[in-house]
Amino acid sequence: MDFIKKLKEFNKQINDLESGLYLGEKRYREIYELNQKLEAEIEQRTKDLETANRQMLTLQHILDMMTSSKPLSGVLNAIVNSLQKELGYLHSCIIRMVKENDKQLIEITAHSDDDFSSEFETIVQTPIYESKIKYIKNDGIDEYIKANMAYSTNNLGECFHKFFPDINLQLQNQLFAKAGALSCILIPLTVDREHYGSLLVLSKREETTDAELNFLKMFARQIELAITISNLFQAVKSQAISDALTGLYNRRYFEESIKKETIRANRQNQKFSVIGLDLDYLKQINDKYGHNYGDIAIKTIAEVLKKNARSIDVPARIGGEEFNIILPGIDSEGAMAAAERIRKAIENQNIPIIGKITASLGVATFFEQTDDVDELLELTDHAMYQSKHDGRNRVTLAKPTKDISWQEVAFNTFIDILSKHRVPLESEISDNISKKLETIGINNDGLYTISDTMIKLYNPNYTPGITKSKVLLANSLAKRFDMPKDRIDNLKIAILLYDIGNILLPKQILQKKAPLTDEEKNTIKSHPIIAAREILEPISGMNVILPIIENHHENWDGTGYPNEVSGNKIPIESQMILLIDAYFALQEPRSYRKAVDKEEAIEIIKTGSGTKWNPKLVEEFISIIETEEF
């Protein structure tokens, strides 16, 4: 009995053990299966994370490119290459529909550099990436584009045949099979609320997941943003370098371009030329027909320049009715021919209401007339004003600087002041002075007459003929100090112009009989700055004259204006003008004092020697006026 009982207990233990082993095996199997599932999920999550990471890096790459200074074509090509390489697509490109002669065409704006693209062109023997292809209407694709929806298909041959109908369908299918392409995806691109084109990708995967489509849509938005940024950049860049009225380059761009051209010319020892052009009689057009027609005339000249310019030329509107054109690699003979062609083209224009217009042109060539760029522009201006003086509607070749007289510089300056309205003169007065300039010619007496006429505008007590005496006296004084000819010539020009800033001052102050207030005195003291910086600085050839005029009211002891400099820091030409001006002004009546005679004027000057005037200058000055008739 004990044996049987023990046997039953042993049997029960065996059953319990078997049951435990079975449960353990089941539990182990469950744990094993769970681990396998977790490992698969971890592997998938890792792949998803890697994909997301690549996507993020790709988007960051796009952002970096968008904020770079690359042109749009370079940015788009970099974007599609990034998409193809980093996300494992066979091929990526951006296609656009364009219209030419009422035909709907396809062009590939950007494409990835991969085996598929090179193989495609080899097989079809067509440079699809360099040409435009006729597009056959595809209702299915067109509907997706109109709805701005992504389009995906596994029927690659049929899809591509719609875009490339002239390419053999069998060849296309062979290429897709060889490359392992199983699907293509097309994402429409919209810029400024208008359809721009589409992003097209070829994939090795047959199915396109929702996550993949969402990413490609996000990617497409980045492409749209890149295009928008590029368009804005180009618009801002265009505004920065272009003249708003004409669309030509502006003065700033011209100045930058001529600096670069000078560097290139010096490096390659190659000539280049500049044509200066000025519309004739713009003021009369504005006065007779209104400023709108003046703008039409200016825009007409701009269109002529655009049509006659080579791709490397730089036609620019410098301001008002003035234009300049840089002609790289062209000598004076070629530039004269180009200028004459432009002149004739302008003359042949017939503008409604206005009729015919003309222009005066000047030409100067780097390495022929000068090897200094600033001087080149001055010579161009001088030649242009010579054309005006000679009757307008003609072309003049510039003379070398050494051959240009001080009289020509002064004459051209007066022409510029009047034609550019740099001082506010009534039309009748301006026209009368301009006519005088045209009739008197470039000679000393004519220039003295014009200067006297200008001075009379702000000083009714001025005695005609004194300008000539001032120039002759300055010439004699300068020779006493062994001043070289070029500086004497600059002094003569400065004497004709030094007080021109007074034209811009209120007459009630200039002709006031009562003592001036401090504010009125400060206004008077501004005229050298006005003359130098506001009127004369924009005029070619005036750069060496400006310091003379700006400092012509500086006293020897530093009590003058506007800069309160003293002694030899004051240009000697300015010291001479101050002394000569005082001598003649003392002998003229003023609203606040009577005129003095010659002897009294000399005594006053002697009294101011060492304070107001340079003692050595006073000494030589008195020696001259006591021995010569002034």
Q: Which two tokens stand for residue 240?
A: 């920065």
CATH topology of domain 72-239: Beta-Lactamase (3.30.450)
Can you give the pLDDT at residue 461?
Answer: 78
Q: Inform me whether the pLDDT recorded for 301 exceeds 80.
A: yes
Cα maximum dimension of the chain: 170
Around 177, how many Cα atoms within 13 Å sit in the side-chain half-sphere? 7
Cβ atoms within 10 Å, residue 230:
19
Strands 103-111 and 132-134: antiparallel
Q: Inform me whether the pLDDT recorded for 14 exceeds 80.
A: no
Q: Identify whether the C-beta of residue 185 lies closer than 8 Å to the C-beta of residue 203.
A: yes
Strands 350-351 and 132-134: unpaired
Name the band, by pLDDT with cuts 50, 70 and 90, for residue 62. Answer: low
Around 407, how many Cα atoms within 13 Å sit in the side-chain half-sphere? 12
Per CATH, domain 405-630 is 3.90.1330.10: no
Can you give the pLDDT at residue 249?
Answer: 93
Query: What is the residue-wise DSSP string for 53-111?
Result: HHHHHHHHHHHHHHTSS--HHHHHHHHHHHHHHHTT-SEEEEEEEEEETTEEEEEEEEE
Architecture of the domain defined by 242-402: 2-Layer Sandwich (3.30)
**Residue 32 or 608, more confident:** 608
Quote the CA–CA distance of 227 and 234 in Å, as a whole number: 10
Find, among 339, 314, 328, 333, the residue nearest to 270 by Cα: 328
User: In this prediction, what percent of the chain has a pLDDT beyond 90?
Assistant: 35
- Residue 582, burial from CB neighbour count under 10 angstroms (0-12, 13-18, 19+): middle
The chain-wide mean pLDDT, for the chain, equals: 83
CA dihedral (599, 601, 603, 607) in degrees, to 10, reads: 180
DSSP reduced 3-state for 154: coil
| Active-site residue, from 224, 261, 321, 573 | 321
**Residue 477 or 30, more confident:** 477
Quote the CA–CA distance of 494 and 572 in Å, as a whole number: 12
Helices in 281-404 by DSSP H: which ranges? 282-289, 291-308, 332-347, 373-389
For the question of residue 321 being annotated catalytic, the response is yes
Quote the CA–CA distance of 564 and 555 in Å, as a whole number: 8
